[in-house]
Amino acid sequence: MSITAVVLAGGKGRRMGGVDKGMVEFLGKPMVAHVIERLRSQTPEILINANREIERYAAFGFPVIQDDIPDYAGPLAGLHKAMTTTESAYILTVPCDAPLLPRNLLAKLMDSMMAHDADIAIAKTGMQAHPVISLCRRALLPSLTKYLQEGGRKVDTWQQGHEVVEVQFSQHPLAFSNINTSDELLTLEQAA
C-alpha cells in the first residue's frame, strides 16, 4: 500500500505577520524539521508543499512542490498538487506548524479508514476536528479538481462530500496545536 505524506507549507503566514511558519524556530529548529522528523518513521514518501523559501525547504532532502492554483489557494491546493505529483494510493496531509504530531498518526488514520471503508480519515481531539490533518484516497482527485475549479477553498466543506471517519487522538492534546501567533509558539514550547 503506497502512502505519500505532504507537509503543507504553502501559506502566506498572515497570522504570523507574513513569516513563513515552517521556518519559525521551535525548540531550536524550524517547525517543519520537527514535522518531517515525526513523519519519517511513518512513511518514506514525503513531499513538501511550499510557495516560497523553496531552496530552504529543499534542503530537508524531500521534493518541494508548488501549488498549480495561483494566489495561495489554501491547503486544498497543496493536496491537489500532491495528488497530481504522486502515484501513491493515499495522501496524508499535515501542516508545517504542528511540530508535535503523534508518531502513530498515519497508522491510526489508516486503521480507521480501512475499518470504516472511508474515503477520508480526519484527526480529532475531544470535540475538535482537524481537517487539514487527514488521510485521503488519491482517487478523490477528480472531485477535488472540480471543487477547486468551482472556487471552493474550505477543506471541511470538500471533505463533507465524501465518506469521512473522524479518528480520536485525545491522548495527544497538544499534538495538533498549530501555531499562528508568537504567544502560541511560546505557550507550546513551554508545554512540550
Binding site for GTP, by residue number, is 8-10, 21, 49, 67, 97
Amino acid identity of residue 186, one-letter, is L
Amino acid identity of residue 8, one-letter, is L
* C-alpha cell at position 190: 513551554
Rounded Cα–Cα distance for residues 192 and 26 (Å): 10
Q: Return the C-alpha torsion angle 146, 152, 156, 162, nearest 10.
A: -20
Residue ranges at the known binding site:
8-10, 21, 49, 67, 97
Element (H, E) at 120: strand 120-125
- Of the candidates 162, 171, 182, which has an alpha carbon nearest to the alpha carbon of residue 122? 162
Residue ranges at the known binding site for Mg(2+):
97
Cite the DSSP H helix spans in the chain: 31-40, 54-58, 75-85, 105-115, 141-149, 155-159, 182-191
